[in-house]
């Protein structure tokens, strides 16, 4: 996400453009492909902006979610992680999916959306209109699979 676009969006909504808000978005943008907890995000932002507080990061994360600039993934261990929203996901109306390693905990994003045919079939047979879905597949990453052989 371009910082200038972000600043413009904040102004359009009548919100202040603060260095802390920009820093949170910048850290998420610099860590594309990573799935950060709020606490991890806070530690990274604090390195850039030492005066920021954890509460400010929490409020900024909520703002970014409300603006559809970031995505949230909830894992079965109760942890909530965030990542920058990809433009192609926003255009398609669907989020990408995640592969979660049961051994090392690594999270890998993948974009293949093979559920479109299923969604079409559901709509045709039941009249139910699927507007979104989230897929999390659990297993072992390549490195952990090789360890188990």
β-pairing verdict for 80-84 and 97-101: unpaired
Q: What is the pLDDT of residue 93?
A: 54
Give the residue numbers of the binding site.
95, 101, 104, 116, 133, 141, 144
Q: What CA–CA distance (Å, rounded) separates 56 from 99?
A: 30
Instruction: Classify domain 1-85 by CATH number.
Output: 1.10.10.10
Give the residue numbers of the binding site for Fe cation.
95, 116, 133
Q: What CA–CA distance (Å, rounded) separates 97 from 95?
A: 6
pLDDT at 26 over 50: yes
Could you tell me if 90 and 84 are in contact, meaning their C-beta atoms sit under 8 angstroms apart? no
What ranges do the domains of the chain cover? 1-85, 93-149
Q: What is the pLDDT of residue 92?
A: 47
Could you tell me if 45 and 58 are in contact, meaning their C-beta atoms sit under 8 angstroms apart? no
93-149 matches 1-85 in CATH topology: no
Residue 69: pLDDT band by 50, 70, 90 thresholds?
confident
Closest of 108, 106, 105, 113 to residue 88, by C-alpha: 113
Please give the full DSSP string across 56-69, using - where no structure is assigned.
HHHHHHHHHHHTTS
Residues in the chain: 149
3-state secondary structure of 46: helix
Residues 30-54: tens digit of each pLDDT: 998 889 999 999 999 999 899 999 9
Residues 83-134: tens digit of each pLDDT: 988 765 444 455 678 898 999 888 888 876 678 888 899 999 999 998 877 7
Closest of 70, 57, 144, 47 to residue 101, by C-alpha: 144
Q: What is the pLDDT of residue 61?
A: 95
Q: What is the pLDDT of residue 113?
A: 67
Q: What CA–CA distance (Å, rounded) separates 112 from 7?
A: 32
Q: What is the pLDDT of residue 94?
A: 58
Give the residue numbers of the binding site for Zn(2+).
101, 104, 141, 144
Instruction: Classify domain 93-149 by CATH number.
Output: 3.30.1490.190
């Amino acid at each position: 996400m371009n910082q200038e676009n972000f600043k413009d969006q904040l102004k359009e909504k009548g919100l202040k453009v603060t260095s802390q808000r920009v820093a949170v978005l910048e850290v998420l943008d610099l860590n594309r492909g990573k799935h950060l907890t709020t606490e991890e995000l806070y530690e990274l932002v604090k390195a850039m902006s030492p005066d920021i507080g954890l509460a400010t990061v929490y409020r900024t994360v909520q703002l970014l979610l409300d603006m559809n600039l970031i995505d949230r993934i909830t894992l079965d261990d109760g942890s909530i992680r965030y990542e920058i929203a990809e433009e192609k996901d926003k255009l398609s109306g669907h989020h990408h999916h995640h592969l979660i390693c049961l051994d090392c905990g690594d999270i890998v994003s993948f974009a293949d959306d093979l559920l479109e045919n299923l969604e079409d079939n559901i709509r045709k047979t039941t009249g139910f209109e699927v507007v979104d879905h989230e897929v999390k597949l659990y297993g072992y990453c390549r490195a952990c699979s090789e360890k188990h052989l």
